[in-house]
Amino acid sequence: MSDTLDLHSDPADLTAALVDVRSVSGEEAELADLVERSLAAHAPHLEIARSGNAVLARTNLGRGQRVVLAGHLDTVPINQNWPSRREGGVLHGCGTVDMKSGDAVMLTIAAQVTDPAYDLTFVFYDCEEVEADRNGLGRIEREMREWLDGDLAIVCEPSNGVVEAGCQGTMRVDVRATGKRAHTARAWMGDNAIHKMGEALRRLDAYEARVVEIDGCTYREGLQAVKVTGGVAGNVVPDEVVLSVNHRFAPDKSVEDAEAHLREVFDGYEVTVVDHAAGALPGLNAPAAQQLVRAAGGEPVAKLGWTDVARFAALGMPAVNFGPGDPVLCHTREEHVPVEQIGVCQGVLKRFLGRASLESRQ
């Protein structure tokens, strides 16, 4: 392998080169080293820093606004879909969608847009695909907070080349019912906890999720049972059952609002919050966000899942998702991305970030 990546190559070729460096979560060191060397060699106009297996780079041109572009270097475990291969106009392989095609676009922008309309920060980070407390953005926020400051954040996660605004919040709770053990031959002497969960399941079945429009984007909430655990043995009346429920909530709700809502839905049961993450409002009223939407064309849509745009929103800045690839293919063996779409996304960001584009808008 070459000591550096060619950051002036076709972004699809660069995507393939990135995919061919294994970087399952926790194993990003080789790819992070390669990205750092490549930026140092091909983007000398950038200040470069390192945080663990994350690589950061930025301009310091004194522009009036700063745009942060972020992409994670890690992938889910390989599933007989590595190395990359190209068939016609489609690139296949682990990470082609999530999200090395987005990383490739970011790297080409970093090297090629040397006179941008905004100051730019590029964040290539580690461990996005695993537990939240390992996410490289969290470490960067704790140790290098100023590197995440900006007026707009673009997370280049797959969005099919459409601006996906904000994201929904998520919360997982355990709903617990208890009873009393007894031999099933003398069941009347016990109290069956599993039977008690029937009412909670009926409430879920009848639940009508909210549909919320914010800044012209429609967010569809959800409340779903995802796991049931309980039972002792084939001849024992169970004394406990736990129903795990996932709630996806629109970004006009806080985490506290979501918890209060779930406690109301499951009134009468013991409810324990297992994990949660706040959503992010679309932020489309920000001038830079509006300019990105114009550059992309079409109408922005709501992000129905959760992404790291929420981390940037929590820092007080508008954030959107924009990148190549169909998010439905994330984490699947069939992961693939159209070569043309990678180029289109690169073109949109060049138009948006280029100084000539800004001058044409003034």
Domains of the chain: 11-166+280-361 (3.40.630.10), 169-277 (3.30.70.360)
pLDDT computed for residue 129 by the predictor: 95
pLDDT band at 361 (very low <50, low <70, confident <90, very high): very low
pLDDT above 50 (res 359): no
Tell me the sheet residues that pair with 87: 90
Choice between 310 and 361, residue whose per-residue pLDDT is larger: 310
Let me know how long the chain is. 362
Identify whether the C-beta of residue 221 lies closer than 8 Å to the C-beta of residue 279.
Answer: no
Section 261-276 average pLDDT? 97
Q: What is the pLDDT of residue 282?
A: 93
pLDDT mean over 276-290: 92
Instruction: Report the distance separating Cα 349 and Cα 105, nearest Å.
Output: 8
Rounded (10°) angle between helices 339-353 and 11-19: 110
* 112-141: pLDDT as tens digits: 999 999 999 999 999 999 988 899 999 999
SS3 category, 214: strand
Tokens describing residue 122: 């590029």
Encoded amino acid at 300, one letter: P
Token duo for residue 208: 């009508």
Average pLDDT of the segment spanning 155-172: 95
Amino acid present at 72: H
Mean pLDDT of 86-110: 97
According to the model, what pLDDT value does residue 88 have?
Answer: 93
Among the listed residues 36, 73, 78, 84, the one whose alpha carbon sits nearest the alpha carbon of residue 57: 36
pLDDT at 352 over 80: yes
Render pLDDT for 34-86 as a digit per residue (tens, 0 to 9).
999 999 999 999 999 999 999 999 999 999 999 999 999 999 999 999 999 99
Is residue 232 very low, low, confident or very high in pLDDT (cuts 50, 70, 90)? very high
The mean pLDDT of the chain is 95
3-state secondary structure labels for all residues of 102-167: HHHHHHHHHHHCCCECCEEEEEEECCCCCCHHHCHHHHHHHHCHHHHCCCEEEECCCCCCCCEECE
Residue-wise pLDDT for 182-223, tens only, equals: 999 999 999 999 999 999 999 999 999 999 999 999 999 999
Q: Concatenated DSSP letters for 276-304? A: EE--B---TTSHHHHHHHHHH-S--EE--
Number of Cβ within a 10 Å radius of residue 348: 18
Q: What average pLDDT does this structure show over 229-236? A: 97
As a whole number of angstroms, the distance between CA 31 and CA 92 comes to 19
pLDDT, tens digit, for every residue of 311-338?
A: 999 999 999 999 999 999 999 999 999 9
Average pLDDT over residues 14-42: 98
pTM: predicted TM-score of the whole model, two decimal places = 0.89
pLDDT the model gives residue 356: 52
**Per-residue model confidence (pLDDT) at position 360:** 43
The Cα–Cα gap between 200 and 42 comes to: 59
> Per-residue pLDDT tens for 137-150?
999 999 999 999 99
Q: Which residues are catalytic?
A: 74, 128
Average pLDDT, stretch 255-268?
Answer: 98
pLDDT at 304: 84
Residue 33 CB partners (closer than 8 Å, separation 6+): none
The amino acid present at 295, given as its one-letter code, is A
Percent of the chain topping pLDDT 90: 94
204/74 Cα distance (integer angstroms): 36
Q: What is the pLDDT of residue 292?
A: 95
